[in-house]
């Protein structure tokens, strides 16, 4: 059994037809679509995860994964009523990881 990062993207109306780029330790992996769950088999160690869409991104989420551990995270976008604020003033928190 190996270590696994499970990333679930919530299904939201805003950005429904757009994918998020997934970065682990600064390297782009796959894109995650609306409502999709991605599984990444990882070696034990320290990682930094973040997402991007167009010119906006997410918080940077750092974690340490142990051997045979599964870490489950959720990601998504901000409330569509606040989209303009985040695009102009806080573009690196337009998406979230938690």
What is the SS3 assignment for 10? coil
If you average pLDDT over every residue of the chain, what do you get? 92
Q: Domain range for residue 57? A: 3-97
Q: Could you tell me the CA-to-CA distances from 2 to 36, 43, 62, 77, 95 in Å, in that order? A: 21, 8, 19, 30, 28
**Could you report the per-residue pLDDT of 34-43, keeping only the tens digit for each?**
999 999 999 9
Q: How many domains does the chain have?
A: 1
Which residues is 74 bridged to in the sheet? Answer: 8
Question: What's the confidence (pLDDT) of residue 22?
Answer: 98
Encoded tokens for 2: 């190996």
Q: Give this prediction's pTM.
A: 0.89
Q: How many residues does the chain have?
A: 98
Regarding predicted confidence, which is higher, 3 or 15? Answer: 3
Please report, for the domain that includes residue 93, its CATH number.
Answer: 2.60.40.1120
At 1, the pLDDT band (50, 70, 90 cuts) reads low
């Amino acid at each position: 059994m190996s270590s696994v990062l499970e990333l679930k993207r919530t299904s939201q109306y805003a950005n429904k037809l757009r994918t998020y780029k997934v970065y682990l330790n600064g390297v782009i992996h796959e894109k995650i679509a609306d409502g999709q769950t991605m599984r990444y088999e990882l070696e034990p160690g320290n990682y930094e995860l973040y997402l991007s869409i167009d010119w906006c991104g997410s918080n940077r989420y750092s974690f340490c994964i142990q051997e045979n551990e599964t870490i489950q995270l959720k990601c998504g976008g901000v409330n569509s009523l606040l989209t303009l604020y985040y695009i102009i003033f806080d573009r690196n928190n337009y998406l979230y990881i938690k």
